[in-house]
Structures are given as C-alpha cells and as structure tokens.
Structure 1
C-alpha cells in the first residue's frame, strides 16, 4: 500500500501541506496526491474533486485500491463546488493553467471560508495566480520552482494575511517571476527565465521590424517592459 509513487512536482506540493490537515485536492485526476499524502502521514482526511467522468472513476478506483475509502471522499463536480464551507483547512490545485486555477478560486470564493492554506501548482501563467492571491488578501508564504521530466514547474503557497508584504517595492517583477523565487534564484529559476528572456527578445525583434499599428506598438511596449524586468532579476 505504501508503494504509491508521485511525480517530483506533486511530491513538492505534498511537502507544503501542514501536518494533520484536512485537504481538498481539486482536479485530483487519479487521486494520487491525497492517497500519497495520507499514506505519508501528512493529512487526516481528504476530498478529491474531479469534474470529468473518466478521471473521477479512476480516482474512486485508486482510493479503493489502497483501502482509503473511509478517509478520502471522491466527489464529482466543478472546482470548489464539491466542497461545503468548513470541511477542509487546506486546498491543493495542481497541474492546470494559472488562468483556470484563478477562475476556480474566484468562482468558489465563498467555499474558502475556514481554509487557511492554498497550495497552487500552475503549469503556465503563474502570474495570474499571484494576481488573484494579491487581489483577495492571500499572502504568499513560500514558493518553489523545480524541473521534473524536462519541464519547469512553479508552486505557490499562500495563507491569509498581508498580500503585498512579500513583494516589497517590486510588485511588478514579483508578480511576473515570484516574490520568493526571485530572491532564491535557483538553477531552475535561472533556466526558465533565461529561456523566457530569449523568447521575448525574438518576439520583440519581430514586432519592432514589422508594420506599426497601435496594437502592435502596445504589445511591443509590454514585451519590452517584461524583458527589462527579467534582465534586472537575472543580474
């Protein structure tokens, strides 16, 4: 039963769960994360939410396979709609785009009553997650960035608090690259933003040499500002 293995990125998500938490894993897929978290002693119970029928059935099968039906409740529904207020104190959402994660949080805001920690792992668009947290008074207390199977992932951990505090005087660059990550600047961080910088410079170069409509001028200015921010962070 303890042989369940997680990907490196999901292992890091689990490590951010407070010991003894009751969690909701939204978009749980095969429910690997809550099963692993329970078997490793991180959580006392879990709700695994899944909106798609196939993964929902897979999650139910997995929970049954490891004999955890009494502690992990697999529910079918969209986002946080699977929760009642006060059922959990920690929510994990992993493996989706940042825009979708933000939409799930916004649409289910009232279900977050009693939740003290959010652990969010956007595959892309982490800036959208950080903007939502900032707008809704969730303070980023930790971030991780890692390479797993040749892809780079970011994990954002937040609790209710002073949302602007982690950013200091550098809100714009903090939203883009992460207020914690930009301080640590580990190998995965440098690799990600060096690649992103080269990509943005290519786009900016094409835009600057093409016909200048008002829209393309605005796009170019936006890309140039991002380039400036990334270059300053990578120094």
Structure 2
C-alpha cells in the first residue's frame, strides 16, 4: 500500500470525504489517506496528525516523496491537538483505532470540533460506543459502510453535526442505522458468524454440569435479536 494504492478499507473511507474538504486525518501513520486525496484533487488542505514519532516521520517522508508539503501539514501531536485554529478544518477522519480510544480523542478536545462539519470514523472495535457518543453530542449518522479487507470486517460511520438532539434505538446503536437496513452481504456474513459463535458458546454451557444462568439468558437474547434483525 502507498499513497496511490490504498487498501480497500481506506478507499471506502476516502469516498466519504467531500470535494475541496479541509481535512484532519488523526492517526495518519504514513499519511497515505490525505496524500491519496490530495493526488486525486479531492481535498484542498490536510493535517496529518500522529502521536508517535516513528509514524510521524513516515508521514513526513511520504508527503515529501509525493511533493505535497504545500498541501499536507504533518503534525506530531496527541489526537485533535494536531489541529490549529487557522487550519479551518471542516472534515475529520479517524481510521484504524478502537472505539474507546476514538471516543477519548474526541472528548479530550471537544473545542477542536467547532466548525467541523463531517466526521468519518472507522473503529476497529467498539462501534456501538462511537454511535452512542455521536448521539449524545448531537451528530446525525448520515451514512455507513462495511467492508472486508484482508480477512477483517470494518465498519465506517459518517456523521454530521446537527442542532437537534439525536435519538437512535438500541438496534441502531448496535448494528448501525444504515447498515441494518441495507444489509449488504458483508454485513449479513458478519452477523451470521457472530450468531454462530454465540450458539457454540451456548451449546458448551448446556453441556456443562453447572450452567451460568445469567450468561445463558444473555446469549439466548442476543441470538434471538440477531435472528430477528437479519429477518
């Protein structure tokens, strides 16, 4: 992978970045995503933020190789602290981190989200936690995607700030308000796999001498919920 050939996961993230966006890519690593967007004339400006020195230096190298140092600013900083007021950032991407860490990044520097119109988030785990945070902070989930890349399944959540309080159901938060309606093949495969895992655990419980009743009931409820959700 390089700035001209992204992984399937990052290509899906890139498609949600608006034309002429001023982007902050947090946890940018090699800055492949902002460099790709710049090369393809999608963004007008970008900050590539990295908290670790090694990935930051990788980003600097990639930006220089592609001669994009006039458009992409690499910054060694923790989370949203990479963003400066005069960057006028309107779009933020965070891809490849866990949901709890992404939530902490947003919560630690809420003021940096002022003026940001769109969040594009690809959490490796903890998708429900991210959706809850978005709901609690008046962000509307305008789109979602799910992709299998290198034997892993990734969900992408796209949200925009609104003036009204958002309300999502438990099913929306767990499975995604867009994903559970659209039910792509990747989505169905993911949740069929999860359901089978739960059934195996339940079967092991039933074969055990001492059955943990509370855990057994939770599994039964979860399995039924997934079955009904998949229709």
* Structure 1 residue 218 displacement after superposition: 4.3
* Residue in 2 that maps onto 1:233: 229
- TM norm structure 1: 0.90
Write out per-residue CA displacement over residues 55-102 of structure 1, whole angstroms, 9 at most, x where no aligned residue: 010000000110011110000111111113463000000011112111
| Distance in 1 between residues matched to 2:6 and 2:15, nearest whole Å | 12
Write out per-residue CA displacement over residues 30-70 of structure 1, whole angstroms, 9 at most, x where no aligned residue: 00000001111110000000011110100000001100111
Residue 174 of structure 2 is aligned to residue 176 of structure 1:
yes
Aligned counterpart in structure 1 of residue 184 of structure 2, from 172, 183, 186: 186
Q: Unaligned 5+ residue runs, structure 2?
A: none
* Structure 1 residue 207 displacement after superposition: 4.5
Asked whether the 8 Å contact 2:24–2:47 carries over to 1, the reply is: yes
* Structure 1 residue 15 displacement after superposition: 0.6
* Structure 1 residue 223 displacement after superposition: 3.3
* Residue in 2 that maps onto 1:80: 80
* Structure 1 residue 226 displacement after superposition: 2.5
* Residue in 1 that maps onto 2:28: 28
Residue 226 of structure 2 is aligned to residue 224 of structure 1:
no
Write out per-residue CA displacement over residues 135-182 of structure 1, whole angstroms, 9 at most, x where no aligned residue: 1111100000111222211100000125636x4xxx111111111001
Asked whether the 8 Å contact 2:92–2:120 carries over to 1, the reply is: yes
Q: 1:98 to 1:207 in 2, by over 3 A?
A: farther
* Residue in 2 that maps onto 1:120: 121
* Structure 1 residue 225 displacement after superposition: 3.0
Q: Unaligned 5+ residue runs, structure 1?
A: none
Q: 1:15 to 1:106 in 2, by over 3 A?
A: same
Residue 150 of structure 2 is aligned to residue 152 of structure 1:
no
| Distance in 1 between residues matched to 2:209 and 2:171, nearest whole Å | 28
* Structure 1 residue 106 displacement after superposition: 1.4
**203-212 vs 32-41, which moves further:** 203-212
Q: 1:138 to 1:52 in 2, by over 3 A?
A: same
RMSD of the TM alignment (CA)? 1.9
Asked whether the 8 Å contact 1:51–1:79 carries over to 2, the reply is: yes
Residue 181 of structure 2 is aligned to residue 164 of structure 1:
no
Residue 75 of structure 2 is aligned to residue 63 of structure 1:
no
* Residue in 1 that maps onto 2:12: 12
| Distance in 2 between residues matched to 1:102 and 1:30, nearest whole Å | 22
Write out per-residue CA displacement over residues 198-232 of structure 1, whole angstroms, 9 at most, x where no aligned residue: 112223444564646xxx55444443332222111
* Residue in 1 that maps onto 2:50: 50
| Distance in 1 between residues matched to 2:34 and 2:188, nearest whole Å | 31
- TM norm structure 2: 0.91
Q: 1:222 to 1:4 in 2, by over 3 A?
A: same
